[in-house]
Amino acid sequence: MARCGRSQASGESLCRAQSHRSSLNPTALRLCTNNGCGQELANLPSVHRLRRTDRRPAGIQIVRDHFANKCAFDLDQDGFSYTSLLFIDADSGNYENGVMRLIAEDRPIAGLLYSTKDIAWQRVAHVVRSGTVRCVEDIQHLGEFAGVPDINSGKPFAVNVLSPIRHLGCGTLLIQKKVFLDLAEAHPEWRYRVQGASYYFGRPNPDREWNYAFFQVQIDPETRHMLSEDFFFADAARKLGHESFVLASERTFHTGEYDFIMNLPLIASHPQAPFM
């Protein structure tokens, strides 16, 4: 059974889901998620809207930290604590089956693979030169080869199974509560006061004085590259023993000027289209 509510704030949503995985784990899953519950995830069994709140502006870090702290420390309206946080970005699509697989895998951090809003033109050119394009229908499918994966990986990884990855975007990312609790315990310097002016989505339940900045933008001390908030989170969690995993077998899309498709199994199966 899943029960979801919608908290409109910068296109985000808030949900609580309860899933009895009898064949996998008898423990109920109480899921806090940021999007999709009233719309796309309504295709899943027993999904219901609970309530709607006002839309207010917020930066992506504030939004991610809000839900992370809510998952870690809050109770839902029935007085139950959450077990996991599910991020689903509003501009992502085709994630429903993948979400169910992530839940079944039961990893501390696991997500689906998306394309950035960019096109791998060199790879597309390789596909065209290989002779794959023979008709108009083939041209229409070139976008399947154009995805630029939103990951960092220092080594090859399997496409058809859940695989460890260094950095993974938050497009669709499932994080267990224990990751946030371990980070909070290890980093008291990340605390900041919960104030009404900055707590866009209502007061915590129960009320508390502190939130933690789990998602930060920083410079990587090793590479000197700028780390986005989701890549920073992956590195911080890994240092505490919580590896990130990617499920790259799902075909997903990331909507911008058009649907940027990520179809890594197809790309990997085409020897004339190197990963670039």
Kindly report, residue by residue over 205-246, the tens digit of the pLDDT: 898 889 999 999 999 888 898 999 999 999 999 999 999 999
Q: What is the DSSP letter of 268?
A: H
- How much of the chain, in percent, has pLDDT values that exceed 70? 74
**Cα–Cα dist 182/167, whole Å:** 19
Residue 105 has pLDDT above 50, yes or no: yes
Quick one: pLDDT band at residue 96, thresholds 50, 70, 90? very high
pLDDT value of position 199 = 58
Q: What is the mean pLDDT of residues 154-168?
A: 90
- How much of the chain, in percent, has pLDDT values that exceed 90? 49
Quick one: pLDDT band at residue 272, thresholds 50, 70, 90? low
**Cα–Cα dist 99/86, whole Å:** 9
Residues written for the chain: 276
Residue 38 has pLDDT above 80, yes or no: no
Average model confidence (pLDDT) for the chain? Answer: 78
**Cα–Cα dist 216/226, whole Å:** 11
Quick one: pLDDT band at residue 193, thresholds 50, 70, 90? confident
Quick one: pLDDT band at residue 133, thresholds 50, 70, 90? confident
Distance linking the first and last C-alpha atoms of the chain: 42
Kindly list the distances between the CA atom of residue 125 and the CA atoms of 129, 136, 212, 274, in Å, as whole numbers in the listed order.
6, 16, 46, 11
Weakest mean pLDDT among 100-104, 128-132, 242-246: 128-132
> Which residue, among 103, 111, 101, 112, has the nearest Cα to 27 in the 3D structure?
103
Record the pTM: 0.79
Kindly list the distances between the CA atom of residue 175 and the CA atoms of 88, 179, 234, 267, in Å, as whole numbers in the listed order.
12, 7, 10, 28
pLDDT value of position 255 = 92
Residue 156 has pLDDT above 80, yes or no: yes
pLDDT value of position 53 = 30
Estimate to the nearest angstrom the gap between the alpha carbon of 25 and the chain centroid. Answer: 22
Q: At 241, list the tokens.
A: 């023993």
Token pair 């499920």 in the structure block, residue: 247
pLDDT value of position 144 = 92
- The phi, psi pair for 185, rounded to 5°, reads -70, -35
**Cα–Cα dist 124/128, whole Å:** 6
Kindly report, residue by residue over 43-80, the tens digit of the pLDDT: 433 322 222 233 333 478 888 998 999 999 999 888 99
